[in-house]
Amino acid sequence: MIKTVKTVKQLRAAVAAWRKRGLSVGFVPTMGFLHAGHQSLIKKAAAQNDRTVVSIFVNPMQFGPKEDLAKYPRDLAADKKACAAAGAHLIFCPEAGEMYPPAFAARVEISGVSEGLCGASRPGHFTGVATVVAKLFNIVQADRAYFGQKDAQQLAVIRRMAADLNINTRIISCPIVRGSDGLALSSRNAYLNARERQAALCISRALAAGRKMLEGGARSALKVEAAVRATINKEPLAKIDYVKIVDPQTMRPVRQINGAVLCAAAVFIGKTRLIDNFIFGA
């Protein structure tokens, strides 16, 4: 059975023992309810490091007051099996009080890159993400940390934070993992009923159509965004939050496409908000 610790002290002791033996450490931060996307991060971490830590913490700070914190899916027993199967060595699953004791007052705010897209729809979300990830980086002190490209803006925020705060952990991005039907894997897919899951395929379908336009030579971001939106709007259960073509590092909107771009979408399927994206021209 994979070792699980709940306190910062225990985690630090385990990592210190590895460090004493000269072992390298990879880190995969998660909110649990692990799927094959998370496992791809863990497998990469295990391949590139001597030891791999996975954190499982549903971070209250990154949820808005009307969001799904209370119902966010949790299954620690299954997560332990998924971590072990993917090659992790240690799970860190702190209680909220361990991460945020009563006097806790810090906030890590990353301006600019946090402000558009999901940052505009979910005020405070990226401050919550940056704060918990900065804490986790300080606690684990890993050589490398692994993030999925599905959360493209989160990745850009973490990269900015790591560079600006001289964080000594290398940030590694990993490709989006999709179901055989094309849907990007997400813990929130568990909220979808059968009809909604079918409807959700409009997102990857629309993005694939957008990519095809770019591959065919389209260079107007507005036209490509409009085509992606039109495909999603054909699905009655879908409500677009945003479809945007942006610079993949800064998340600033792009009008005329000359270099690498990120085409990102957030769409409600029923009550479930899903995100997906692709990078073109990198």
Comparison of 30 and 204: residue with beta carbon closer to ligand PAF: 30
Comparison of 79 and 151: residue with beta carbon closer to ligand PAF: 151
Q: Which residues bind ligand PAF (CB under 6 A)?
A: 29-31, 59, 62, 129, 132-133, 151, 154
* Residue position matching structure tokens 């897919």: 189
C-alpha atoms less than 13 angstroms from C-alpha of 141 in its C-beta half-sphere:
12
Comparison of 52 and 154: residue with beta carbon closer to ligand PAF: 154
96 phi and psi, to 5 degrees?
A: -60, -35
Whole-number minimum distance, CB 242 to ligand PAF, in Å?
A: 18
Whole-number minimum distance, CB 63 to ligand PAF, in Å?
A: 10
Written as six digits, the tokens of 160 are 């900015």
Do residues 157 and 114 make contact, with C-beta atoms less than 8 angstroms apart?
A: yes
Whole-number minimum distance, CB 29 to ligand PAF, in Å?
A: 4
136 phi and psi, to 5 degrees?
A: -60, -40
Distance CA 74, CA 187 (A): 9
Strand order in the sheet with 90-92: 3-5, 90-92, 51-56, 25-30, 144-148, 170-174
Q: Which residues are catalytic?
A: 38
Comparison of 206 and 265: residue with beta carbon closer to ligand PAF: 265
Write out 251-269 in H/E/C secondary structure: CCECCECCCCEEEEEEEEE
Distance CA 265, CA 206 (A): 9
Whole-number minimum distance, CB 55 to ligand PAF, in Å?
A: 7
